[in-house]
Amino acid sequence: MTNTHFSGGSPRPEAEVFVDLKALCTSPGYIHAIAYFSARDNLIRYSGPQLVVKDLEHQHSHDKLIRTEISTLIGLMVQCPIDLSLPEPKILDGYIEHTETLLQDLHSAMESHWFEGCDFRSGKMPEHDPFATATGMREPIFYGGSRPTISNTETWRA
């Protein structure tokens, strides 16, 4: 995925991304994409008699959806009657890929305020305090505190 802040592009407006997300989330059988994300990103798989730190490392991946993202998808999906039909595998794969792209677009839109006035090529930093406005706080509130902290020495009994 390309970070628009480093590539010189500008992110899509957040409202536009939400329109596309809502259309996707109300697609026939989309609930199966949400089930996929929930299982992929929240199940903790382990083998052996104990759960160890290595079993939890995938929870820190930037490739997984966080709870607020999955909750947003569910919230958009329930705004229309839910179609429980099982989509063809190609369609389901398309839902998954399109969802991840739109969520990256949403993240870029939310964090864009942080980079207003920046020029990474010249080293110019913003002259505003991104924490001083509600717009600047949206991204850290939506994405912050969603991943557990793992100590390298911890072990949990199964």
pLDDT by residue (tens digit) across 19-46?
A: 999 999 999 999 999 999 999 988 887 7
CA distances from 32 to 1, 76, 103 (A): 24, 14, 17
Tokens of residue 128, six digits: 């505003």
Task: Specify the pTM.
Answer: 0.75
Would you state the pLDDT for residue 94? 98
Tokens of residue 140, six digits: 């850290």
Range of the domain at 131: 12-157
Residue 109's CB is within 10 A of a number of other CB atoms, namely 21
Tokens of residue 18, six digits: 């939400």
Displacement of CA 15 from its chain's centroid (Å): 16
Would you state the pLDDT for residue 92? 98
Assigned domain for 29 exists: yes
Split at pLDDT 50, 70, 90, the class of 120 is low
Assigned domain for 1 exists: no
Mean pLDDT of 81-107: 97
Helix (H, G, I), strand (E, B) or coil at 102: helix
Cα 36 to Cα 27: distance, rounded to the nearest angstrom: 15
Mean pLDDT of 95-117: 87
Assigned domain for 2 exists: no
Helix (H, G, I), strand (E, B) or coil at 80: coil
Assigned domain for 6 exists: no
Assigned domain for 133 exists: yes
Per-residue pLDDT at 61 exceeds 90? no
Let me know: does 33 contact 92? Beta carbons within 8 Å.
yes
Mean pLDDT of 47-70: 81
Mean of per-residue pLDDT scores for the chain? 81
